[in-house]
């Protein structure tokens, strides 16, 4: 995959994500923090990054934007729109770490056809187009694109309770405890869909989030993982879509089946 092969909307998304990463870096350590609900927070950087990305995508493509902070609704007729999560891992960002991602996805006809993820921890942008594979390059555009491929080599699984509560959160806790006790994989919890960028690179072997409240969180990463050779579904094994409220991404079909069995074991 090379920059010359990207569709025009994808190129616009790459530019938007690169701009968002620069803005997030500039505001790191000085962004104002405001509570949203429960333990959730938003920073002034979340809002600024979303507004900058929305402005660029609107100017370049004319398509509507559904954002984490400013909301919006996906068109009911399946017409194209953007899904934007400006900083996924806001608590990490507010705490001064780079364990967050900037996610931009293009939805067309009910499918995610392009996904761009900005990863400040590696200073990279990762890109996928439906049916055309996944690739990564430096976030400042100074080097070429290299292909991405999922792998089970790390034997590392990341699991997040996400926004779950009640029985769903208890379910997540039981699965996490089982994974730790079984000692078959290394366990992580990054509190960000940045995990899907790590999966596409092969740094993680699987990632599970038990509840998400909007497709903006997983849309870009889901395509990134699947185009890098992985398998993506919800925690019931149904192929991930913009209607899904959870996500399970695995490097291989065998690992995916194994994790689905483990999740089902603790389901009420």
Q: Which CATH class is domain 3-143?
A: alpha beta
**CB neighbours of 243 closer than 8 A, spacing ≥ 6?**
215
Q: How far apart are CA 204 and CA 131, in angstroms?
A: 22
**The predicted structure's pLDDT at residue 189:** 96
Provide the pairing of β-strand 156-160 with 186-188.
Answer: parallel
Residue showing tokens 């938003």: 42
Out of 3.50.50.60, 3.90.1300.10, 3.40.190.80, 3.40.50.2000, select the CATH number for domain 156-265: 3.40.190.80
- The domain locations on the chain are 3-143, 156-265
Residue 109 region, left (φ>0) first, then alpha (ψ -120 to 50), else beta? left
Q: Consecutive sets of 10 residues in the chain, 268 residues long: mean pLDDT of each?
A: 79 98 96 88 97 98 97 93 98 96 97 98 97 94 88 97 94 97 95 98 98 97 98 98 97 98 90
* pTM as predicted: 0.95
**The predicted structure's pLDDT at residue 1:** 54
**The predicted structure's pLDDT at residue 194:** 98
**The predicted structure's pLDDT at residue 2:** 55
């Amino acid at each position: 995959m090379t920059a010359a092969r990207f569709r025009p909307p994808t190129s616009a998304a790459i530019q938007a994500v690169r701009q968002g990463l620069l803005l997030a870096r500039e505001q790191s350590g000085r962004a104002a923090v405001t509570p949203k609900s429960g333990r959730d927070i938003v920073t002034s950087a979340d809002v600024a990054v979303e507004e900058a990305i929305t402005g660029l995508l609107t100017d370049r493509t004319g398509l509507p934007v559904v954002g984490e902070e400013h909301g919006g609704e996906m068109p009911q007729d399946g017409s194209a729109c953007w899904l934007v999560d400006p900083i996924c891992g806001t608590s990490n960002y507010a705490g001064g770490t780079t364990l967050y991602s900037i996610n931009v996805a293009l939805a067309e006809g009910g499918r995610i056809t392009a996904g761009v993820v900005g990863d400040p921890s590696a200073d990279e942008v990762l890109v996928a187009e439906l049916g055309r594979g996944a690739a990564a390059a430096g976030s400042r555009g100074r080097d070429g694109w290299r292909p991405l491929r999922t792998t089970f080599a790390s034997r590392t699984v990341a699991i997040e309770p996400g926004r779950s509560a009640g029985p769903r959160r208890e379910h997540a806790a039981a699965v996490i405890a089982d994974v730790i006790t079984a000692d078959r994989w290394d366990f992580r919890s990054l509190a960000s869909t940045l995990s899907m960028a790590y999966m596409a690179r092969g740094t993680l072997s699987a990632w599970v989030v038990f509840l998400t409240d909007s497709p903006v969180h997983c849309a870009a990463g889901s395509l990134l993982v699947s185009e890098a050779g992985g398998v993506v579904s919800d925690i019931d094994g149904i192929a991930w879509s913009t209607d899904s409220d959870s996500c399970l991404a695995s490097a291989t079909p065998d690992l995916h089946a194994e994790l689905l069995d483990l999740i089902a074991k603790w389901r009420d």
